C-alpha cells in the first residue's frame, strides 16, 4: 500500500494529538515525516502495520523531541543531519570566515588523533550518520556506552576548542 493512501489517517491522528500545542504545525510535520519513514521501512521489510499504530509511534517520537533530520548546534561535530552525508568541515564551519574554517580543518583532525582507537572509530561512524544501534553493533558495545562515547567526544571537542 502506498503512503499517500494512509496519509489522511496519519495527518488526522497527528493534528488531533498536537491540537492546541504552541508548535502544532512543526510537531505535525515532524510526526508525518517519521510516519512516512516508518511506513517505508515496514514496506521494505515486507511487514504490515495499521496506519493508526504507525501514527501513534510517530507522535510519540515527535513529542520526545527527536528530530528526523536536524542539527541543533552548528559547531557540534557529532550532531550532524543523518539524512545527508555533508562535507564535515564545511558543516562545522558554516558561514564563518576562511581563517576560521582553516583552523577547523587543522584542529578537528588533531583533536580526533588524541582519542583512543575505539572513540576514533565511533567518531567516524557518527560523522557518516550511522545510528547509535549500528555503532554499538559494529563496536560490540552497548547502546548506552555509545551514547557516553558521543557525549565524551562532544565535551572533549568543546574543551579542546576553548
Q: Give this prediction's pTM.
A: 0.45
Q: Which sequence spans correspond to the domains of the chain?
A: 3-64, 88-161
The residue whose grid cell reads 567526544 is 153
Separation of alpha carbons 20 and 69, rounded Å: 24
pLDDT in tens, 70-82: 544 545 555 544 4
pLDDT tens-place string over residues 21-69? 888 888 899 899 999 988 888 888 888 889 999 999 999 988 887 777 6
| Residue range 88-161, CATH number | 1.10.10
Residue 119, CA distances (Å) to 16, 105, 115, 147, 160 in order = 43, 19, 6, 11, 15
Amino acid at each position: 500500500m502506498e503512503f499517500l493512501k494512509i496519509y489522511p489517517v496519519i495527518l488526522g491522528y497527528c493534528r488531533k494529538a498536537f491540537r492546541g500545542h504552541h508548535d502544532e504545525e512543526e510537531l505535525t510535520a515532524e510526526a508525518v515525516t517519521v510516519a512516512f519513514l516508518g511506513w517505508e521501512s515496514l514496506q521494505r521489510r515486507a511487514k504490515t502495520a495499521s496506519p493508526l499504530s504507525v501514527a501513534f509511534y510517530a507522535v510519540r517520537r515527535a513529542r520526545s523531541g527527536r528530530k528526523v533530520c536536524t542539527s541543533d548546534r552548528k559547531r557540534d561535530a557529532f550532531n550532524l543531519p543523518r539524512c545527508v552525508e555533508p562535507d564535515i568541515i564545511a558543516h562545522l564551519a558554516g558561514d564563518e570566515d576562511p581563517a576560521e574554517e582553516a583552523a577547523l580543518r587543522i584542529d578537528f583532525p588533531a583533536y580526533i588523533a588524541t582519542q583512543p582507537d575505539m572513540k576514533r572509530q565511533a567518531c567516524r561512524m557518527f560523522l557518516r550518520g550511522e545510528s547509535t544501534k549500528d555503532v554499538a553493533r559494529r563496536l560490540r558495545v552497548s547502546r548506552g556506552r555509545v551514547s557516553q562515547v558521543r557525549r565524551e567526544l562532544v565535551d572533549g571537542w568543546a574543551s579542546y576548542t576553548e
